[in-house]
Structure 1
Amino acid sequence: MVSLKDMKMGIACILLMTYLVLVKSGEDGDTSLSRKQEEELKLLKKPAMKSIKTKYGDIYDCVDIKKQPAFDHPLLRNHSIQMKPSSFPKGMIDKELLASKPSKIGVNSSWCPPGTVLIQRIQKEDIIKSESQVRRYHGHTGQLITENPGYHFATFRLIRSDRNYYGGSVHLSIDQPVLYSVNQFSEAVLWVENGPIDQLNSIQVGWTANPKLFGDNRPRMFSYWTADGFHKTGCYNLLCPGFVQLSRKLSFGQTYDVISTYGGDQYEDNFLVYKDPKSGNWWYFKDLDGGHEPVGYWPSSLFTTLRDSASTIASGGQVYSPTNERSPQMGNGHFPIQNQRFSTAARRLQFVNERNVMVDPDAGSLKIEMDSPACYTVESVVPRAKVWINSIFYGGPGGACGI
């Protein structure tokens, strides 16, 4: 027969276990989605004709090209897919430009079948994580201080205010920066932008080490876009409708298989974004298997100021950390020196002009920018060959980077 004392002890144990469960739930945070987020996730998850799992555990789906998430955007409901550009920028392919070894990217399996496109599978956690990371415009240090603390950059950009740009290209070193928490990221970026800061139109491509977004700190191909200064439009990768995916081989979120080593072999990737002369769409190309692979495009109808042209082309490194944490490494984690084997590079920044020609800008039209030289610096590369004109070495160890 159970005594009154035993019953009281049993009730106490149950209450204690219940309390511990509730405390643990509170510590883990609320992972439930709002109604709006549930609707977004439902739209983004499309039926797959085939699924591919990478060696890193990522799952990519082969989705019907006509049923991809892009066409759930209200501005793209009646959009006609542009299967290929009307033309390519002249000078786009130059075999003599290779100064470092190209890094490998892509799923290690057979590609998606014809009529489908490669899209990383989206889970509810991805929606929550992406909305917790707000982007900012790298070119305004004042705004960096007052509105977005924790961001730091080491970049260079074109400063000619008397001309329009119709695309940009750069070769970026692929590195493995050290991060000190899951709330940080470190990335190498090509920016194509136009408009006032509060309504900025921006397309950003490159690679990022971002554990909160991807679950690990490996360098991965990423993009971000906005048409209103990061207020209500835009997102990372394909986490909202907008970008029209075309490739069956490459997609955002894919991991780089080979990384540069400090003092050893250096690996890089080329990033190219340009405006189609006829459609006005902004195409994104990547190097793959010795050629240029069209990943897809951002339709011109998504934008306001970028419908015509860009006013800024920039490249370099960007990091983020909560202000109560030491800032992460940028690039290879070392301050740059005039030696390719020991420095992270943004190599040969070019722009596309109004005649759809790849152009090397005058050195005087490039401006170096860094907001925290105690942590990250930039050096113009002394070009000893054509492949190194209009290039920078950048990066640093991070640390206490208060402005």
Structure 2
Amino acid sequence: MVPQVVGWSPPTRPRYKINVDGSVFSTLESVGVGVLIRDSEGQVIAVLSKKINAPLGALEVEARAVEVGLEFARDTGVHDFILEGDSLSYRVSGARILTHEEDSLLEIQLKLINKPPVKSIQTEYGHIVDCIDINKQLAFDHPLLKHHKIQNAVIQMEKKKYYTGVEGSVTVYDPQVKEGQTYAQVYVYNGDDLNYYNLITTGWMVSPDIYHDGSPHFFAVFTDTNYNWWISIEGFVVGYYPKEIVFNLNQPQGLGWGGVAVGNPNGNSAPPMGSGEFSDGSNACEFSNIQYRNQENTTLAPQLPHYKIITDNPKCYDLKYDGYKNPEFGFTFKFGGPGGPCSN
């Protein structure tokens, strides 16, 4: 075997080149990240080596290396550079003037993304928040998501002054999702019903479009919120959302549990939800020990008339709340369905 010699080509003056790389130390459950900045003459401007105590995979450590490289460039005052890794090369410039054609194209894109809000809210800090219908969110303009059909089967608490927490356990399944995505979630939000203008949600998801496989994956999603929120699994903290990156969720007015199925735009068949069985199936997906905390930080379970069950399309998905089951499982409900031709 002949070793491959990898050459380094200098950037054109006055640009810099930043090379980043990462290494995985599996036995130590840690990774290493290296950053090297050189000028057009090949002279070393700055070097950084950093150990990160986290069990990241190969792709994750490469992404982290890019992140560390960009932060290092900012800290060293390097603004016009090419960033290179094992399988990437990006150019970042401090300033660039748009051509007339590019400016016109940008104006067209801006018109496309300016969605008419159903409601506008001014925060105490003076920010204007436009509430966009959930089915018209900008994310759904992406080619992989445009015109997707969203179906919910959830238990949602009544809107109150505010809540301070939500929890529950859910069985994990791997329904056969050929197109679209399906997930089970717990969430807190501010907004009108399911038209969230602010949201933190977590659970498991099956999405071939996102993960390129048919396996369930843990996920957490948030919109801009201003309160510290923690996500934990069986007592272990796995996510932290500080108030600096999230505004207007210091006192969430609503929360819930349940399933969501997102169908592809041109498909006539929606994906399954939960295990793929309706709530009366022997292997139906189940939430147990569902609880929430009110504004007094008291832990409670959903009781009538303080919650509602939302099923967008009972022909394809349903939900049955069983209430209190036993000391081990607490308050439970089952949900799901096979999907299929769910068009109304």
For normalisation by structure 2, the TM-score amounts to 0.58
Structure 2 counterpart of 1:300, one-letter code:
K
Partner of 2:266: 324
Matches of 1:200 and 1:63, distance apart in 2: 39
Distance 1:345 1:299, change over 3 A: same
- The answer to whether the 8 A contact 1:370-1:378 is kept is yes
Distance 1:386 1:398, change over 3 A: same
Partner of 1:117: 54
Distance 1:162 1:185, change over 3 A: closer
Structure 2 counterpart of 1:301, one-letter code:
E
Distance 1:51 1:218, change over 3 A: farther
Deviation at 1:361, TM superposition (A): 3.7
- The answer to whether the 8 A contact 2:276-2:336 is kept is yes
Structure 2 counterpart of 1:186, one-letter code:
T
Please, which of 225, 229, 251 is the counterpart of residue 309 of structure 1? 251
Deviation at 1:372, TM superposition (A): 0.8
Which moved further from structure 2: 318-327 or 192-201? 192-201
Distance 1:297 1:384, change over 3 A: closer
- The answer to whether the 8 A contact 2:227-2:246 is kept is no
Deviation at 1:185, TM superposition (A): 0.9
Give the structure with higher Rg (CA): 2
* Cα deviations by residue, 1:257-315 (Å, 9 ceiling, x for unpaired): xxxxxxxxxxxxxxxxxxxxxx941111112xxxx211130011222211x22111111
Partner of 1:188: 184
Distance 1:154 1:52, change over 3 A: farther
Secondary structure in 2 aligned to 1:302? Answer: coil
Matches of 1:362 and 1:48, distance apart in 2: 51
Query: Does 2:227 correspond to 1:284?
Result: no
Structure 2 counterpart of 1:302, one-letter code:
I
Matches of 2:22 and 2:236, distance apart in 1: 22
Secondary structure in 1 aligned to 2:184? Answer: strand
Query: Does 2:216 correspond to 1:219?
Result: yes
Secondary structure in 2 aligned to 1:206? Answer: strand
The runs of at least 4 aligned residues of structure 1 exceeding 2 Å deviation read 45-53, 60-64, 117-125, 142-149, 195-199, 352-364, 386-391
Secondary structure in 2 aligned to 1:213? Answer: helix
Please, which of 254, 260, 278 is the counterpart of residue 335 of structure 1? 278
Deviation at 1:49, TM superposition (A): 5.5
Please, which of 204, 217, 221 is the counterpart of residue 207 of structure 1? 204
Partner of 1:397: 338
Query: Does 2:316 correspond to 1:369?
Result: no
Matches of 2:255 and 2:20, distance apart in 1: 34
The count of residues paired between Structure 1 and Structure 2 equals 231
Matches of 2:205 and 2:32, distance apart in 1: 25
Deviation at 1:146, TM superposition (A): 6.7
- The answer to whether the 8 A contact 1:48-1:61 is kept is no
Structure 2 counterpart of 1:282, one-letter code:
W
What RMSD over aligned residues (CA atoms) do the two structures have, in Å? 3.6
Query: Does 2:24 correspond to 1:50?
Result: yes
- What are the residue-to-residue correspondences of 1:229-248 with 2, within 5 Å? none
Matches of 2:171 and 2:21, distance apart in 1: 36
Distance 1:62 1:198, change over 3 A: farther
Which moved further from structure 2: 192-201 or 367-376? 192-201
Which structure 2 segments of 5+ residues have no match? 1-17, 36-50, 64-86, 89-131, 138-146
* Cα deviations by residue, 1:142-173 (Å, 9 ceiling, x for unpaired): 946677541111111111x3331111101111
Partner of 1:150: 149
- The answer to whether the 8 A contact 1:377-1:394 is kept is yes
* Cα deviations by residue, 1:88-114 (Å, 9 ceiling, x for unpaired): xxxxxxxxxxxxxxxxxxxxxxxxxx9
Choose between structure 1 and 2: higher strand proportion: 2
Choose between structure 1 and 2: higher helix proportion: 1
Partner of 1:293: 236
Partner of 2:161: 163
- The answer to whether the 8 A contact 1:381-1:389 is kept is no
Matches of 1:367 and 1:327, distance apart in 2: 24
For normalisation by structure 1, the TM-score amounts to 0.50
Percent identical pairs in the alignment equals 21
* Cα deviations by residue, 1:302-340 (Å, 9 ceiling, x for unpaired): 22211x221111111111121322111111111111x7x
Deviation at 1:386, TM superposition (A): 3.9
Matches of 2:230 and 2:292, distance apart in 1: 14
Partner of 1:12: none
Structure 2 counterpart of 1:200, one-letter code:
Y
- The answer to whether the 8 A contact 1:153-1:317 is kept is yes
- The answer to whether the 8 A contact 1:378-1:395 is kept is yes
| Greater relative contact order (CA < 8 Å, ≥ 6 in sequence) | 1
Matches of 1:146 and 1:191, distance apart in 2: 20
Secondary structure in 1 aligned to 2:244? Answer: helix
Deviation at 1:394, TM superposition (A): 0.5
